Chains A and B, each alone.
Chain A
Amino acid sequence: GIQVEQSPPDLILQEGANSTLRCNFSDSVNNLQWFHQNPWGQLINLFYIPSGTKQNGRLSATTVATERYSLLYISSSQTTDSGVYFCAVSWYNNNDMRFGAGTRLTVKP
């Protein structure tokens, strides 16, 4: 099956710093989503982005489908950005979303 790798596994930032999270996947995909899992366990949709670039406030994401990676950018980080960020993909004719192991982000005040 498709492999999803996220890096880095852990990231510690000072409030106000910028960061880039990466997701590599091993096959062509028709769905890629970025999620934020908050400290209470709720998975929150950030982006649906199988290709191209999207922005939402301080967050933006880019997926280069031909090179099989996606990047999530967080600018001017805040303590509320802390949590685990997951990339999840599914591939053609299959809605089985495969999640990466996540990047645990800690933003310190």
Chain B
Amino acid sequence: EAGVAQSPRYKIIEKRQSVAFWCNPISGHATLYWYQQILGQGPKLLIQFQNNGVVDDSQLPKDRFSAERLKGVDSTLKIQPAKLEDSAVYLCASSLGGRGEGTDTQYFGPGTRLTVL
């Protein structure tokens, strides 16, 4: 079974530029998450989708970050314009979703390491 795919793996941009990340979840997983992991910290949830609807985006800095999951499968996360403090690893995760035991187990992709200069 293929895991969660993310691209690109690395990105270097200058502040005020724009950047986009792509995520393809595990096939059949209804729930998709984007996390931000700053060096030395645990991941922090930015946004959660259930199919193509947003479940939770309370920690997403909406003045510069946006995300979409138009067809309920893959997703893009965009930052526009980027700031120095956005330097981090952006992780995508997916879970089956539903009410059964373990259906909310989250599986993570390899992440995109963003450096803002």
Contacts and interface: CB of A to CB of B under 8 A. Distances in A.
Partners in one complex: yes
Interface of A: 30-31, 33, 35, 40-45, 48, 86, 88, 90, 94-97, 99-102
Contacts of A99: 42-44
A32 B48 CA distance: 17
Interface of chain B: mostly helix, strand, loop or mixed: strand
Interface residues of B, number: 24
B32 to A, nearest CB: 11
Nearest to A35: B108
Which 3 A-B pairs have CB atoms at the shortest separation, nearest pair first? Answer: A99-B42, A43-B108, A48-B105
Contacts, number: 55
Contacts of B56: 94-96
B104 interface: yes
A100 B41 CA distance: 8
A48 B102 contact: yes
Contacts of B89: 41
A90 B48 CA distance: 13
A41 B45 contact: no
Interface of B: 31, 33, 41-45, 48, 55-56, 58, 89, 91, 93, 95, 102, 104-108, 110-111, 113
A27 to B, nearest CB: 16
A89 to B, nearest CB: 11
25 contacts: A30-B104, A31-B104, A31-B105, A33-B105, A33-B106, A35-B108, A40-B110, A42-B108, A43-B91, A43-B93, A43-B111, A45-B106, A45-B107, A48-B102, A94-B56, A95-B31, A95-B48, A95-B56, A95-B104, A96-B58, A97-B33, A97-B106, A99-B43, A99-B44, A100-B42
